Amino acid sequence: MRAVDLIQKKRDGLELSSEEIKWLIEGYVAGTVPDYQMSALAMAIYFKGMSTREISDLTMNMVASGDQIDLSAIPGIKVDKHSTGGVGDKVTLILAPLVASFEVPVAKMSGRGLGHTGGTLDKLESIKGYQIEVTQEDFIKQVQETGVAVIGQSDNLVKADKLLYALRDVTATVDIIPLIASSVMSKKIAAGADAILLDVTVGEGAFMKTVEEARVLAQTMVDLGKAVGRKTIAVLTNMSQPVGTSIGNRLEILEALEILQGKGREDVTEFICELAQIMLGLADVEKTVAEVRQHIENGAALKKFEEMVQAQGGDLEDLYRPANVSHKVDVLAERDGYIVGLPALEFGLFAMKLGAGRAVKTDELDYETGIVFHKKVGDAVEKDQPIATIYANENISENMLTNFQKNVKIDDVSVNTKEIIEIIS
Ligand code: URA
């Protein structure tokens, strides 16, 4: 076989056979199919798409490109969760311990942030001592003993995705359904959980800009999960504004703690309890949202979170430490009215420029910086009321402030938002 023939085949809109996909993935991981040919193929897939069979072959060959985790030593139905990426997305930090507080084991491997999107690992690493590199044995032991672990993906898991994702990132081929679906599901399948909740983000701050596209991605991933015997449900969630009230690593840990203490914003708390209810259902634990919420109100979920942090070497005193920055700048409302838009992409990029995110993989993060929103879409504001506070370790120029303010959309008529748009199973 020759890669050039397979690129041409895809370029001309034809289907690649199972053998051809296997040959390409194996060759890519072995280094015999070079990056330049793989990027040409990714671009051909971008324009010509893939059939359901091709996506399934791609996914399973990616799974086979590295280790597969065996979680069978942990009793019970193990559930995992994955988000396709968002701004201010601290959901895992709350959801994982909340679900685990119902004795449902959560063994989760998370990723880092890139561009305007944040990553759970970076947030956890803002806690002094928190170890994300954990051996497979210790990972399993921690879930057996504590019921929950959130760690970094081992280097040997889905090697093909590591290479391919880095390549897609620099060749404008990330936002394409066959490649997102195979990337996400190969990691979830290899990570070994019995059941998977997929949070498919939709909107301006997400890869999927429309509900229609997100629905196709969600259904593709659900089908891939089910085909290999994993119970899989996808939830389309709104990413037109940042999740919750903060963007930035330490700031999001603090918001997660507030929610776990029952002091978070009502809408975010409700949203996370709804996701927890679905995740528990995947493990055959049927609870009402009110019952889920009780584990926030009675401190059970917070206790689980603290246990997880301690088990992974995190310092509990540091956990509660406020963000340490040299500049805190309030942004004031320019007029009376209602907040009707807080574009997630713009604020994600703003936070990235403050050091809270990475423009390229090698960028160092400033864990302390970011944004805290005092108002969200749908809230009433009065002129000169603080809408947000910028946490920075540098001077915020007039230009930056104007840019921030310009992105806060205020109107006379309020709008409704809902976090969960649709459930696909
Ligand atoms: N998240 C992933 O893990 N992979 C993608 O391709 C996109 C989002």
Q: Which atom of ligand 1 is closest in space to residue 111's alpha carbon?
A: 3
- Taking residue 30's Cβ as centre, other Cβ atoms within 10 Å add up to 10
What is the Cα gyration radius of the chain? 21
Are 289 and 349 members of one domain? no
* Short-list 246, 282, 283, 284, CA closest to 265: 246
pLDDT, residue 213, reads: 96
**pLDDT category of residue 112 using cuts at 50, 70 and 90:** confident
Nearest CA to ligand 1 atom 3: 184
Are 17 and 131 members of one domain? no
Q: Tell me: pLDDT of 120 over 90.
A: yes
In a domain, 38, yes or no: yes
The CATH number linked to 34 is: 1.20.970.10
Return d(Cα 137, Cα 349) in angstroms, integer: 38
Are 284 and 178 members of one domain? yes
Nearest CA to ligand 1 atom 1: 84
- Taking residue 168's Cβ as centre, other Cβ atoms within 10 Å add up to 23
pLDDT, residue 204, reads: 87
Across the range 3-29, mean pLDDT stands at 98
**pLDDT category of residue 85 using cuts at 50, 70 and 90:** confident
Token digits of residue 263: 């002091």
**pLDDT category of residue 154 using cuts at 50, 70 and 90:** confident
Side by side, which strands form the sheet with 337-341? 380-381, 337-341, 409-411
Nearest CA to ligand 1 atom 6: 180
Range of the domain at 195: 79-319
Are 111 and 200 members of one domain? yes
Return d(Cα 75, Cα 184) in angstroms, integer: 25
The CATH number linked to 368 is: 3.90.1170.30
Q: Tell me: pLDDT of 118 over 90.
A: no
**What percent of the chain clears pLDDT 70, i.e. is strictly above it?**
100
In a domain, 373, yes or no: yes
* Short-list 194, 214, 196, CA closest to 86: 214
Please tell me the distance between residue 94's alpha carbon and the centre of ligand 1 in angstroms.
Answer: 21
pLDDT, residue 291, reads: 98
Of 171-175, 380-384, 392-396, which range is least confident? 171-175
Are 163 and 35 members of one domain? no
Q: Tell me: pLDDT of 76 over 90.
A: yes
In a domain, 220, yes or no: yes
Ligand 1 mutation target, pool 92, 108, 177, 183, most atoms within 8 A of CB: 183
Which pLDDT tens digit goes with each residue over 186-203?
A: 999 999 999 999 999 999
pTM score? 0.94
Please tell me the distance between residue 174's alpha carbon and the centre of ligand 1 in angstroms.
Answer: 8
Count of domains observed in the chain: 3
Domain boundary among 287, 319, 351: 319
Are 354 and 242 members of one domain? no
Return d(Cα 279, Cα 195) in angstroms, integer: 8
In a domain, 416, yes or no: no
pLDDT, residue 116, reads: 85
Return d(Cα 76, Cα 67) in angstroms, integer: 22
pLDDT, residue 115, reads: 82
**Which residues' Cβ are closer than 6 Å to ligand 1?**
84-85, 165, 174, 179-180, 183-184
Name every residue whose Cβ is closer than 8 Å to that of residue 414 and which is 6 or more positions away in sequence.
Answer: 338, 340, 378, 380
Across the range 239-255, mean pLDDT stands at 97
**What percent of the chain clears pLDDT 90, i.e. is strictly above it?**
93
The answer to whether the CB of 111 falls within 8 A of the CB of 121 is yes
Return d(Cα 131, Cα 150) in angstroms, integer: 10
Across the range 192-217, mean pLDDT stands at 95
3-state secondary structure of 148: strand
3-state secondary structure of 422: strand
Q: Which atom of ligand 1 is closest in space to residue 165's alpha carbon?
A: 6
* Short-list 65, 105, 57, 81, CA closest to 190: 65
Residue with tokens 């898991």: 157
Return d(Cα 305, Cα 256) in angstroms, integer: 10
Residue with tokens 């409700």: 270
Question: What integer best gives the mean pLDDT of the chain?
Answer: 96
Distances (CA, A) of 373 to 195, 258, 356, 401: 34, 14, 15, 14
pLDDT, residue 117, reads: 86
Are 238 and 357 members of one domain? no
Which pLDDT tens digit goes with each residue over 366-379?
A: 999 999 999 999 99
The answer to whether the CB of 367 falls within 8 A of the CB of 121 is no
pLDDT, residue 373, reads: 98
Ligand 1 mutation target, pool 81, 157, 180, 208, most atoms within 8 A of CB: 180
Are 20 and 143 members of one domain? no
Q: Which atom of ligand 1 is closest in space to residue 179's alpha carbon?
A: 6
Ligand 1 mutation target, pool 62, 81, 174, most atoms within 8 A of CB: 174
pLDDT, residue 155, reads: 85
**pLDDT category of residue 361 using cuts at 50, 70 and 90:** confident
Are 113 and 206 members of one domain? yes
Mind telling me the catalytic residues? 82, 161, 168, 183, 187
* Short-list 275, 284, 408, 298, CA closest to 343: 408
Return d(Cα 42, Cα 422) in angstroms, integer: 29
Are 309 and 224 members of one domain? yes
Return d(Cα 251, Cα 322) in angstroms, integer: 8
**pLDDT category of residue 359 using cuts at 50, 70 and 90:** confident
Are 263 and 339 members of one domain? no
**How many CA atoms lie within 13 Å of 310's alpha carbon, on the beta-carbon side?**
11
Across the range 263-281, mean pLDDT stands at 97
Which pLDDT tens digit goes with each residue over 314-357?
A: 999 999 999 999 999 999 999 999 999 999 999 999 999 999 99
For residue 65, the surrounding DSSP H or E stretch is: none
H helix and E strand count, the chain: 17, 13
Task: Quote the Cα angle for 187-193-197, to 5°.
Answer: 80
Are 184 and 292 members of one domain? yes
Q: Which atom of ligand 1 is closest in space to residue 184's alpha carbon?
A: 3
The answer to whether the CB of 268 falls within 8 A of the CB of 259 is yes
Nearest CA to ligand 1 atom 2: 184
Nearest CA to ligand 1 atom 7: 180
